[in-house]
């Protein structure tokens, strides 16, 4: 260790140092977790006091004074001795609040603070992600609108196909993002509070505290749920809330990962064709060996983290499937890893997507050149119809075009030359009747169908109504750390 900087001798998560936002990192921080535990103990004491238990306002005030000043070193020592994280913090909190010590955690089990805090953190995580997702949708909507009429080759099987427009392709990305927004908003809305359920979910300890008064126990559950900012609670639980809740959260985030992966894969392919390029800073280096390169590193990173995110939901499935009876503890370590990583990954994916969308560059001349190589083949049917209208025979014209197209194709594939089908048609006397129409028959804008109108209609009917829900949310432009 001699001569080494000790700050860099421990493993540090890339999400803490490179990828995730400050607000999402705080959401999964120890400070947020354990201050939430203390708030939950205060909610419980307040509700118990209001329902007649012998708890004083002085005790509650004392707890409220010590919500944030957590002695993490003392808690670590206690946990090392007790091998129990909740009791370690009960002891530390109680030592800070001697008056309140007898009523801290009164009637509760560990999952009262553990599971309820998890639900708060999951909810708050969605609240961080949704405005960022809306920002990505807003930026891509502008891109789609700005480029709604620029013709471009469509690709099926990654082979040139009928023309689309640059903006129309972006609406396909937007459509998937809208589905993600709906799914995440729905998952957020479906979250309920575990509430006050006791050791195995029967509320037996609270029933004893209230001398068998079932209605007071029910009211206690409702009061604490409302204090925690939830409208609904799970009516039944074991010791924990059902781990299928985690599955629902992980699934919508994994689905977002799939969307991001598809969008950034498309951008990477288009960058390879030099049709579209992600932002590239003036001092950015694309390659240590090849100075001219402009690698799509943002899209590559987004794909990389999205792929990681897409695979995390299998942990939730395994954990839920392996919960025995009212609960087993083999869920704990896995959830400590999986749930934060899913949200932190989604956070980075959205920040990266926003950064990309804010600086996407389109190269129309490159697109035009690529179209020029393929459009004559696609216009063959137009040439045939024009000849028929001019009095020609369809079958004869078809055969003429077929022969010329094969000759032009050979020029492209065998000799690497440009597509010269149009020149071959111009030089063939057979096509004399339509020579004056060739330019109009090859106008790319006549090959895109209703794509420009589809973009405008889609934005008006589906995108802008969703964005209206976020019009009061301000999201600053994203600058990626590294």
Q: What is the pLDDT of residue 292?
A: 46
- Structure token pair of residue 36: 């939430």
The closest alpha carbon to 117, from 16, 209, 195, 186, belongs to 195
Distance CA 329, CA 275 (A): 53
Distance CA 146, CA 141 (A): 9
Query: What radius of gyration, in Å, describes the C-alpha atoms of the chain?
Result: 31
Start-to-end Cα distance in the chain: 28
Q: Are 37 and 85 within 8 A, CB to CB?
A: no
The closest alpha carbon to 320, from 245, 233, 237, 234, belongs to 245
Q: Are 417 and 411 within 8 A, CB to CB?
A: yes
Q: Are 422 and 442 within 8 A, CB to CB?
A: yes
By three-state DSSP, how is residue 269 classified? Answer: helix
Distance CA 379, CA 441 (A): 7
The closest alpha carbon to 19, from 306, 313, 334, 277, belongs to 306
Tens digit of each residue's pLDDT (9 = 90 or more) over 73-94: 999 998 899 888 899 999 999 9
Which conformational region is residue 151 in: left (phi greater than 0), alpha (psi within -120 to 50 degrees), or beta?
beta
pLDDT along the chain (482 residues), means of 10: 68 82 93 95 96 94 93 90 90 92 92 94 97 96 96 90 93 98 97 94 92 95 96 93 95 97 96 89 47 75 95 92 89 91 96 94 93 81 86 89 87 82 86 85 86 97 96 76 59
- Structure token pair of residue 257: 């990962």
Q: What is the pLDDT of residue 482?
A: 56
- Structure token pair of residue 233: 């609670």
The closest alpha carbon to 236, from 190, 188, 194, belongs to 194
Active site residues: 157, 287
User: Where would I find the H helices in 273-393?
Assistant: 297-321, 332-357, 364-378, 380-389
The closest alpha carbon to 69, from 17, 31, 24, 116, belongs to 31
Sorted by where each starts, the structural domains of the chain and their CATH numbers stand as 16-96 (1.10.275.10), 110-281+293-363 (1.20.200.10), 366-446 (1.10.40.30)
Residue 115 host element (H or E): helix 110-146
Q: How many alpha carbons fall within 13 Å on the CB side of residue 1?
A: 6
- The β-bridge partners of 156 are 159
Q: What is the pLDDT of residue 5?
A: 67
Backbone angles phi, psi at 276, to 5 degrees: -135, 150
Helix axes 110-146, 451-458, angle to 10 degrees: 140
Q: What is the pLDDT of residue 354?
A: 94
Tens digit of each residue's pLDDT (9 = 90 or more) over 298-335: 999 999 999 999 999 999 999 989 999 988 888 888 99
Tens digit of each residue's pLDDT (9 = 90 or more) over 212-237: 999 999 999 999 999 999 999 999 99
Q: How many alpha carbons fall within 13 Å on the CB side of residue 189?
A: 6
Q: What is the DSSP letter of 277?
A: E
Q: What is the pLDDT of residue 287?
A: 45
Question: CB under 8 Å, gap of 24 or more: what pairs does 270-274 form?
Answer: 271/296, 271/299, 273/366, 273/370, 274/363, 274/366
């Amino acid at each position: 260790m001699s001569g080494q900087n000790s700050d860099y001798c421990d493993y540090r998560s890339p999400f803490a140092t490179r990828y995730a936002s400050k607000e999402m990192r705080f959401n999964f921080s120890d400070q947020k977790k354990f201050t939430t535990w203390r708030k939950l103990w205060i909610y419980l004491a307040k509700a118990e006091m209001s329902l007649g238990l012998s708890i004083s306002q002085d005790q509650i005030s004392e707890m409220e004074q010590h919500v944030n000043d957590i002695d993490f070193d003392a808690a670590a020592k206690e946990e090392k001795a007790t091998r129990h994280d909740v009791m370690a913090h009960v002891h530390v909190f109680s030592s800070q609040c001697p008056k309140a010590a007898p009523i801290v955690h009164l009637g509760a089990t560990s999952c009262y603070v553990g599971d309820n805090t998890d639900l708060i953190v999951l909810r708050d995580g969605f609240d961080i992600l949704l405005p960022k997702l809306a920002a990505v949708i807003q930026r891509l909507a502008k891109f789609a609108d700005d480029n709604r009429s620029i013709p471009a080759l469509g690709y099926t099987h990654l082979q040139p196909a009928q023309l689309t427009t640059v903006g129309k392709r972006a609406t396909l990305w937007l459509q998937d993002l809208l589905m993600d927004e709906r799914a995440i908003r729905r998952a957020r809305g479906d979250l309920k509070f575990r509430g006050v359920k006791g050791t195995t979910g029967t509320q037996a300890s609270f029933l004893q505290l209230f001398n068998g008064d079932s209605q007071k126990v029910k009211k206690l559950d409702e009061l604490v749920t409302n204090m925690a900012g939830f409208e609904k609670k799970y009516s039944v639980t074991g010791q924990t809330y059902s781990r299928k809740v985690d599955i629902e959260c992980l699934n919508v985030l994994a689905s977002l990962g799939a969307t991001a992966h598809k969008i950034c894969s498309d951008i990477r392919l288009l960058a390879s064709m030099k049709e579209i390029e992600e932002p590239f800073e003036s001092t950015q280096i694309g390659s240590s060996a090849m100075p001219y390169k402009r690698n799509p590193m943002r899209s590559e990173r987004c794909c990389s983290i999205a792929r990681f995110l897409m695979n995390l939901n299998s942990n939730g499935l395994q954990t839920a499937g392996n919960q025995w009876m009212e609960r087993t503890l083999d869920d704990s370590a896995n959830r400590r890893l999986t749930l934060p990583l899913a949200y932190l990954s989604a956070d980075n994916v959205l920040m990266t997507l926003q950064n990309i969308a804010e600086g996407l560059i389109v190269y129309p001349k490159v697109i035009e050149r690529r179209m020029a190589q393929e459009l004559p083949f696609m216009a063959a049917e137009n040439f045939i119809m024009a000849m028929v209208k001019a009095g020609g025979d369809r079958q004869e014209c078809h055969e003429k075009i077929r022969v010329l197209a094969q000759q032009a194709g050979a020029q492209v594939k065998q000799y690497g030359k440009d597509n010269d089908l149009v020149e071959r048609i111009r030089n063939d006397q057979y096509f004399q009747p339509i020579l004056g129409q060739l330019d109009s028959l090859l106008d790319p804008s006549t090959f895109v169908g209703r794509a420009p109108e589809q973009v405008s209609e889609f934005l008006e009917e589906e995108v802008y109504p969703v964005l209206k829900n976020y019009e009061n949310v301000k999201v600053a432009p994203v600058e990626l750390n590294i």
